[in-house]
């Protein structure tokens, strides 16, 4: 009988609390760009319903800013014996299990806001195109240490295949 994925056992590693700033800045930038587009349609292109679009953009941006801290807290990862388990999402939760032996590339990315805050994103590439696991908001030393540990585990597991 196949073993069920037990998500409650063990401690989840969380992203840095400073990651909330990255989410808020991204939401603000997106909101400003979308608001500028809606304002253009309303005032320059003379679309009568442009003000409704602008109001919708503002409401969505405000709601996104309100839930930003909870979204950041919902992200976590856990290293298990044979795989790395990743989770994210508030309403629609996503759990991804990445076997160590399937990891082909582990990459560290740093955006401008994350770089200022000392944060990095860890990206995993596997043979499956749909995996797409990115652990955002890790402190740079933690990201480098985790990358090195995962590369070591991946090499040892691939050698055993």
pLDDT in tens, 95-128: 888 888 888 888 999 999 999 999 999 998 887 7
Q: Kindly report the average pLDDT of the chain as a whole number.
A: 87
C-alpha 155/C-alpha 161 separation (Å) is: 10
The secondary structure of residue 8, as a DSSP letter, is S
Whether 129 has a pLDDT exceeding 70, the answer reads no
pTM reported for the whole predicted model: 0.81
Q: Which residue has the higher pLDDT, 93 or 62?
A: 62
Q: Which residue has the higher pLDDT, 131 or 145?
A: 145
List the alpha helices (DSSP H) in 105-161. 112-117, 140-159
Compute the CA torsion angle 128, 94, 121, 107 (nearest 10 deg).
-10
In this prediction, residue 39 carries a pLDDT of 93
107 near 125, Cβ under 8 Å? yes
Mean pLDDT over 66-83 rounds to 91
């Amino acid at each position: 009988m196949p073993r069920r994925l037990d998500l409650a056992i063990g401690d989840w590693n969380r992203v840095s609390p400073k990651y909330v700033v990255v989410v808020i800045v991204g939401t603000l930038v997106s909101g400003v760009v979308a608001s500028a587009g809606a304002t253009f349609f309303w005032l320059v292109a003379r679309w009568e319903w442009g003000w409704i679009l602008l109001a919708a953009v503002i409401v969505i941006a405000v709601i996104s800013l309100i839930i930003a801290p909870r979204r950041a807290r919902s992200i976590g990862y856990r290293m298990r014996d044979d795989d790395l388990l990743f989770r994210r999402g508030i309403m629609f939760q996503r759990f991804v299990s990445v076997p160590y032996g399937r990891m082909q590339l582990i990459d560290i990315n740093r955006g401008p806001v994350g770089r200022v805050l000392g944060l990095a994103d860890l990206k995993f590439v596997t043979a499956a195109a749909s995996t797409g696991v990115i652990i955002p908001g890790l402190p740079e030393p933690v990201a480098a240490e985790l990358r090195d540990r995962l590369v070591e585990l991946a090499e040892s597991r691939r050698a055993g295949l």
